[in-house]
Amino acid sequence: MNNVVLKCQSLKKTYKKKNRKLVILKDINYEFKSGHVYAIVGKSGAGKTTLINILGLLKKQDSGKIFILNNDVSKINENKASEIRNKNIGFVFQSFYLDPLLTTEENIKLPMLLNNSLDKIKINERVKKLLKEVELEDRETHFPKELSGGEQQRVAIARALANNPDIILADEPTGSLDPENEENILNILKSLAKKGKCIIIVTHSKTVREYADIVLELKKGILEEVSRD
Amino acid sequence: MIEYIKTRFRDHHKLLISVSLLFTISLFILIAEFLLSYYQYTINKTVDKKEANRTLIIYNVTKEMTNQDFIELSKIKHIINIYEEYTNWNLKEKDKIFLLQNNYNITNTKINIGHNINSPNEVLINKTAANEYHLSIDDQINLNDKYKVKIVGIINNDEIPSIYFENKALRNIALQEQAFLNKMNIVIDEYQNLNFVIKELQNRGYEAIKNETLDQEVNRLEEIINNISFGIYFIILFTIVITFSIFNILVKNEIKNNALLKLIGYKNKNIVFMNFIYLLIIIIISLLSNSVIYFFLKLILDINNCFTIPYIEYLSIISYIFLLYFIILVIISLINHLKLHKIDMLNIIEES
Ligand SMILES: Nc1ncnc2c1ncn2[C@@H]1O[C@H](COP(=O)(O)OP(=O)(O)O)[C@@H](O)[C@H]1O
Ligand SMILES: [Mg+2]
pLDDT of A114-159, one tens digit each? 988 889 999 999 999 999 989 999 999 999 999 999 999 999 999 9
**Chain B residues in contact with A59 (beta carbon < 8 A):** 344-346
Distance A13 CA to ligand 1 centre (A): 10
At B302-317, the pLDDT tens digits run: 888 888 888 888 999 9
Does residue B81 sit in helix, strand or coil?
strand
Contact B1 A113 (CB under 8 A): yes
So what's the pLDDT on residue B76? 87
Cα R_g (chain B), whole angstroms: 33
| Per-residue confidence (pLDDT) for residue B112, from 0 to 100 | 46
**C-alpha to C-alpha distance for A168 and A21, rounded to whole angstroms:** 31
A94 near A170, Cβ under 8 Å?
no
Question: Which pLDDT belongs to residue B108?
Answer: 47
DSSP B193: G
Is residue B322 within 8 Å of B290, Cβ to Cβ?
Answer: no
* pLDDT at position B146: 86
Minimal CA–CA distance to B254: which of B14, B13, B20, B6?
Answer: B14
* Rg of chain A (C-alpha set): 17
Confidence of residue B47 (pLDDT cuts 50, 70, 90): low
Cα separations in angstroms, B143 against A88, B219, B243: 106, 46, 74
Nearest protein CA to atom 24 of ligand 1, as residue: A45
CB proximity under 8 Å: A 96-135 to B: 97-99, 101-102, 106, 110-111, 113-114
**pLDDT at site B350:** 65
Give all strands of the β-sheet with B55-60 in edge-to-edge order. B79-84, B183-188, B55-60, B206-209
Separation between Cα atoms, residue B260 and residue A144, nearest integer Å: 14
Instruction: Give the model confidence (pLDDT) of A207-224 as tens digits.
Output: 999 999 999 999 999 999
- Ligand 2 centre from A43 Cα, in Å? 9
Element (H, E) at B101: strand B96-102
Q: Using a CB-CB distance cutoff of 8 angstroms, which residues of chain A are in contact with residue B278?
A: none
| CB neighbour class for B14 (10 Å; exposed up to 12, middle 13-18, buried from 19) | middle
pLDDT band of residue B111 (cuts 50, 70, 90) is very low
Q: Could you tell me which residues are beta bridge partners of residue B151?
A: B123
Per the CB < 8 A criterion, the answer to whether A38 and A204 are in contact is: no
**Residue A214 distance to chain B (closest CA, Å):** 25
* Residue B225 parent element (H or E): helix B212-253
pLDDT > 80? residue B118: no
Query: Across-strand partners of A92?
Result: A170
Any idea what the CATH number is for the domain that residue A68 is in?
3.40.50.300
Ligand 2 centroid vs B349 CA: distance in angstroms? 10
Please, how many CA atoms are within 13 Å of residue A2, restricted to the half-sphere of its CB? 1
Tell me, what's the pLDDT at B106?
A: 54
Closest CB to B265 among A93, A106, A114: A114
Does residue B263 sit at the A interface (CB-CB below 8 Å)?
yes
Interchain contact B342–A (C-beta under 8 A): no
* pLDDT average, residue stretch B143-162: 85
Question: Residues lining ligand 1, CB < 6 A?
Answer: A 15, 17, 24, 42, 44-50; B 344, 346
Report the range of poorest mean pLDDT among B155-164, B176-185, B261-270, B274-283: B176-185
Q: Which are the contacts of B201, defined by CB distance < 8 A and separation ≥ 6?
A: B56, B58, B73, B76, B186, B207, B208
Task: Find chain A residues with C-beta within 8 A of B7's C-beta.
Answer: 99, 101-102, 106
Please tell me the residue having the least CA distance from ligand 1 atom 17: A47
pLDDT digits (tens, 9 = 90+) for A9-36: 999 999 988 888 999 999 999 999 999 9
Residue B342 has pLDDT above 60, yes or no: yes
Q: Among A194, A175, A193, A174, which Cα is nearest to A183's?
A: A174
CB pairs < 8 Å spanning A and B: 69
Q: What is the 3-state secondary structure (H, E, C) of chain A?
A: CCCEEEEEEEEEEEEEECCEEEEEEEEEEEEEECCCEEEEECCCCCCHHHHHHHHCCCCCCCEEEEEECCEECCCCCHHHHHHHHHHHEEEEECCCCCCCCCCHHHHHHHHHHHCCCCCHHHHHHHHHHHHHHCCCHHHCCCCHHHCCHHHHHHHHHHHHCCCCCCEEEEECCCCCCCHHHHHHHHHHHHHHHHCCCEEEEECCCHHHHHHCCEEEEEECCEEEEECCC
* pLDDT score, position B53: 55
Residues of chain B with C-beta less than 8 angstroms from the C-beta of A91? 263-264
Residues of B in contact with A171 (CB under 8 A): 349
Residue A102, min C-alpha distance to chain B (Å): 7
Q: How confident is the model at residue B178 (pLDDT cuts 50, 70, 90)?
A: low
User: Which domain, by its residues, includes A9?
Assistant: 4-226
**Which pLDDT value is given to residue B32?**
83
**Hey, whose CA ends up nearest to atom 7 of ligand 1?**
A15
Q: Is B181 a residue whose pLDDT tops 70?
A: no
Whether B161 and B194 have beta carbons less than 8 Å apart is answered as no
Eight-class DSSP state of B65: B
Per-residue model confidence (pLDDT) at position A1: 63
Length of chain B: 352
Q: Which residue has the higher pLDDT, A98 or B117?
A: A98
Q: Where are the beta strands (DSSP E) in B203-280?
A: 206-209
CB contact under 8 A, B4 and A110: yes
Dihedral sign for Cα A31, A34, A38, A44, please.
positive
CA distance A111 to chain B (A): 6
Nearest to B264 among A59, A86, A95 (CB): A86
Chain A interface includes B273 (CB < 8 A):
no
Please give the helix or strand (H or E) that residue B134 lies within, else none: none
Beta-sheet pairing, B55-60 with B162-165: unpaired
Contact criterion met (CB below 8 Å) for B287 and B321 = yes
Instruction: Please report, rounded to a whole number, the percentage of residues in chain B having pLDDT higher than 70.
Output: 87
Which of A19, A24, A222 to mutate to test ligand 1, by most ligand atoms within 8 A of the CB atom?
A24
> Does pLDDT of B109 surpass 60?
no
Total structural domains within chain A:
1
CA distance B145 to B127: 23
A34 Cβ under 8 Å from any chain B Cβ: no
* One-letter identity of residue B117: I
Banded pLDDT at B6 (limits 50, 70, 90): very high
What is the rounded (10 degree) CA torsion for B211, B217, B222, B224?
Answer: 170
To the nearest 10°, report the CA torsion of B141, B143, B147, B151.
-30
Q: Tell if the CB–CB gap between A85 and B265 is shorter than 8 Å.
A: yes
Kind and range of the H or E run holding B119: none
When pLDDT is cut at 50, 70 and 90, the band that residue B323 belongs to is very high
| Predicted pLDDT of residue B119 | 81
Within 8 A by CB and 6+ apart from A36, the residues are: A193, A198, A199, A213, A214
In whole angstroms, give the CA distance from residue A125 to residue A127.
5
Strands (E), B161-263: 162-165, 183-188, 206-209
Q: Let me know: does B326 contact B277? Beta carbons within 8 Å.
A: no
A165-179, B104-118, B190-204, B333-347, range with greatest mean pLDDT: A165-179
Lowest mean pLDDT segment, chosen from A12-16, A116-120, B281-285, B327-331: A116-120
pLDDT in tens, B212-254: 666 677 777 778 878 888 888 888 888 889 888 988 888 888 8
Say yes or no to pLDDT of B104 above 80. Answer: no
Provide CB contacts within 8 A for B107, sequence distance 6+.
none
- The answer to whether residues A168 and A192 touch, using CB atoms and an 8 Å cutoff, is yes
| CA-based nearest distance A58→chain B, Å | 7
Instruction: Provide DSSP, B311-324.
Output: HHHHHHHHHHHHHH
Residues of A in contact with B267 (CB under 8 A): 78-79, 82
- Per-residue pLDDT, averaged over A153-181, amounts to 93
Q: Which of B260, B263, B278, B342 to mutate to test the interface with A (most CBs of A within 10 A)?
A: B263
Contact call for residues A202 and A52 (beta carbons, < 8 A): yes
Query: Ligand 2: distance of its center to the CA of A88 in Å?
Result: 22
